Structure 1
Amino acid sequence: MYLYIKALHIIFIVTWFAGMFYMPRLFIYNTEAGDKPEAAKAALREQFAIMMKRLWYGITWPSAVLTLIFGLTTWHLMGATPEWLKVKLLFVIGLYIYHFTLHVIFKQQQQGVFKYSSQQLRIWNEVATIFLVAIVMLVVVKQSLSFLWGIVGLLLFVILLMSAIKIYKILRDKK
């Protein structure tokens, strides 16, 4: 039974992350639609609103809830809480906080409020990637991962990711 529950946990993690990866992209496209002529802007924003609502309520939220249910069940069935799991749970709490920030942005955009530039949203889009890398490394490497090397590796990954965003912005501005 444990392995079936664990498999379901992993499946819903994947679908939850799919939603968290795609939703900020839709925020970016919806924000950039504001630069289009009025007719195109209205049509694009109407379409993005539909896409965001279906993705958020049809995939992302249900996956977040099922990830939590199957994760807690897996943890209960493990019967123990190893040190690596305690650190993972801190990252998971951070991931749910990130999820709630996406919900706030979703609600704002559904109401026609655009507080963030597409560049700010591009950077925010990468937060899920940082959580994914940290959590997967913890789960796979477990106790052999030294805390210091893990933090150094994560910081280097963040620097690499932010550098890629900066380079992309420079190349995009040249066009």
Structure 2
Amino acid sequence: MFLYIKALHIIFIVTWFAGMFYMPRLFIYNTEAADKPDIVKSALREQFAVMMKRLWYGITWPSAVLTLVFGLTTWHLLGVTPQWLVIKLGFVVGLYIYFFSLHRIFKQQVQGVFKYSSQQLRIWNEVATIFLVAIVMLVVVKQSLSFLWGIIGLLLFVVLLMSAIRIYKVLRKKRN
């Protein structure tokens, strides 16, 4: 039974992350629609609103809830709380905070409120990747991973991601 619950937990983690990876891309496209002629902007924003609602309420929210349900059940069935799991749960709390921030941006954009530039949203889009790397490394490597090397590796990964975003911005400006 434990392995089936764990498998369901992993499946819903994957679908939840799929939604969290794609949703900020839709935010970016919706934000960039402002640069289009009014009739095009209106059509794009209408279509993006439909896509965002379906993704958010049809996949992302249910997956977030089921990830939590199966994760807590897995933890209960595990019967112990090793140190690596405590650290993982800290990252999971951070991930849910990020998820709720995406929900806030989603609600704003559906209401026609655009508080963030496409560049800011591109950076925010990478936060889920940082959580994914941290959580997967922690779960897979567990006690073999020194806390110090784990933090150093995570920080280097963040620097690499931010550098890639900056390079993309420069290349995009040159192209335009």
TM range (shorter): over 0.9
Shift of residue 28, structure 1, vs aligned partner: 0.1
3-state SS in 1 of match to 2:81: coil
Normalising by the residue count of structure 2, what TM-score does the alignment of the two structures yield? 0.99
Q: Answer yes or no: is 1:169 the counterpart of 2:136.
A: no
Gaps of 5+ in 1: none
State how far apart, in whole Å, the 1-side matches of 2:81 and 2:145 are. Answer: 17
CA shift for structure 1 position 117: 0.1
Q: Name the amino acid aligned to 2:98.
A: Y
Q: Does 1:99 align with 2:89?
A: no
Aligned residues: 175
1:170 deviates by: 0.1
Matched residue, 1:18: 18
Residue by residue over 1:29-82, the C-alpha shift from the partner in whole angstroms, topping out at 9 and shown as x without a partner, is: 000001000010000000000000000000000000000000000000000000
Q: Which residue of 2 aligns with 1:58?
A: 58
- Residue ranges of structure 2 left out of the alignment (5+ in a row): none
State the alpha-carbon separation in 2 of the partners of residues 45 and 140 from structure 1: 41
Please list the CA deviations of residues 86-118 of structure 1 after superposition, one character each: whole Å capped at 9, or x if unmatched.
Answer: 000000000000000000000000000000000
Q: Residue 164 of structure 1: CA displacement?
A: 0.1
**Paired amino acid for 1:112:** G
Aligned to 2:129: 129
Q: CA deviation at 1:18?
A: 0.1
Q: TM-score, normalised by structure 1?
A: 1.00
Residue 2 (structure 2) aligns with:
2
2:84 matched to 1:84? Answer: yes
Map of 1:110 onto structure 2: 110
Deviations 1:130-149 (A, max 9, x none): 00000000000001100000
Which residue number corresponds to residue 48 of structure 2? 48
Give the letter for the 1:161 counterpart. L
CA apart distance, 1:5: 0.1
Residue identity matched to 1:101: S
For 1:165 and 1:17, locate their aligned partners in 2 and report how far apart those are by CA, in whole Å. 20
Equivalent-residue separation in structure 1 for 2:80 and 2:158 (angstroms): 32
Shift of 1:16: 0.1
Structural RMSD (CA)? 0.2
SS in 1 for 2:166: helix
Aligned to 1:145: 145
1:148 & 1:101 partners in 2: Cα distance? 29
DSSP-derived class of the 1:11 partner: helix
Sequence identity (%): 86
In 2, the alpha carbon distance for the partners of 1:173 and 1:83 equals 46
Aligned counterpart, 2:68: 68
